[in-house]
Structure formats: structure tokens, C-alpha cells
Amino acid sequence: MHNAAVPELAHTHARPAHWAATAVATAAVVALAGFLTPDPAKASQSPSGHGAPLTTTAAPDPGAVTFPLDCAGLGTVVEQKASGDLDGDGAPETVAIVHCDAGGGTPPSGVYVLTRPASKGAPPRLVATLVDPKDRKTVTGLTVREGAVAATLLGYSSDDVPRYAPDVRQDIKWRWQHGKFIRTTGAEAIGA
């Protein structure tokens, strides 16, 4: 078997000059990064340059909340969640579709708005109920965009309609105005 001799490469033997050059190059990169960071006054602006500032605050976690559902000990399921700044304060809220963990069938949904905790270490606060499970609706298609919550409510025209086949559909949108959520429906909700 033939062993080929591998020539020694200059860069495989680090010398003090090599380490000094590496330290100078690293310091230059760090200094350049400091010059390239945005101005603090502009760093908090929204992408369009106006409106609500961007935030690094985490959206409230619906898994940390006890929802006001009477589930007879079955527990709850967060079916869907969406987050965004709904009230223009720069901090995100979370909207959650929640229902009882029935294991089967179509349990009615509740739609809840959560905001940051009142104090550090506390769970998020439930600040609004947009759809009450007592209304016997199923909620789908939840989105939060441009400060508005949109969803589709599925329901029943009578008690004779099977629970697995809702026959009434309604597009809904909620927007925070004058200290409360204002609800719009139908074409108004789609265009709002």
C-alpha cells in the first residue's frame, strides 16, 4: 500500500500573527455592525413608517388560560389562535377559538381575546368574549389582520338540523373602537 505525502499547509499552523490578524478582523466586523444598526428612533416604527410600532413582546399563550366553558370535566381544546395588535398599543393580543374536548361531535365554540398579564408571572388576561359557546356556533377561519379579527360562524336554522351539518354561514369581523369590539357581518365584514 502506498502512502502519499501530504504537504503541510501554511494555515494549519497558527502563529501569533495569525491570531492577531483574526482579532483585528473580528473587531472590525463588530464595529461595522454597530454602524449598520438602525437609529433607535426609527427601529420601533412599523414597516410602512407610520401606525403602530413593531414590538418584540410575545403574544399571550392561550394554553396558560382557564376559559369560561362548562365542559363537565372534559377539559378544553384551543382549536385555533391568531395574534396581532388589536387596540393599537404596540403589544399583541391573542384571539383563540376554544371548545370543550368532547371527543366527538361538534361542540360549540367560544372566541376569546387575551392580553398580556397584569403582573409578571401571571397568566394572560381574558379581556373579551367575541362568541359565547351558549350561542351554539362553530367558528372557523380565524384571522387577525390590520387590527381586525375575522372569522366564519357556522350554525343551524332549526333544532331539526343535524349538529354535524350546519346550514347557516355568517362572515364576521370585529374591530376595537371606542373601548369595545364592534362586530360587523356579511358583505360589510368582508370589505371592512
What's the confidence (pLDDT) of residue 137? 94
Q: How confident is the model at residue 42 (pLDDT cuts 50, 70, 90)?
A: very low
What's the confidence (pLDDT) of residue 52? 46
Rounded to a whole number, what is the largest CA-CA distance in the chain?
89
Q: What mean pLDDT comes out for the span 28-57? A: 45
| pLDDT tens track for 125-152 | 999 999 999 999 999 999 999 999 999 9
Euclidean distance between CA atoms 164 and 104, whole angstroms: 10
Residue 177: HSE in the Cβ half-sphere, 13 Å Cα cutoff: 8
Give the mean pLDDT of the chain.
Answer: 78
Q: How confident is the model at residue 102 (pLDDT cuts 50, 70, 90)?
A: confident
What's the confidence (pLDDT) of residue 162? 87
Radius of gyration of the chain (CA): 27
Q: In terms of pLDDT, which residue wins out, 90 or 29?
A: 90
C-alpha cell at 190: 368582508
Contact 110, 99 (CB under 8 A): yes
Q: In what order do the strands lie in the sheet with 168-177?
A: 138-145, 148-155, 168-177, 180-185
| 29 pLDDT more than 60 | no
Task: Kindly report the pTM of this predicted structure.
Answer: 0.68
What's the confidence (pLDDT) of residue 121? 87
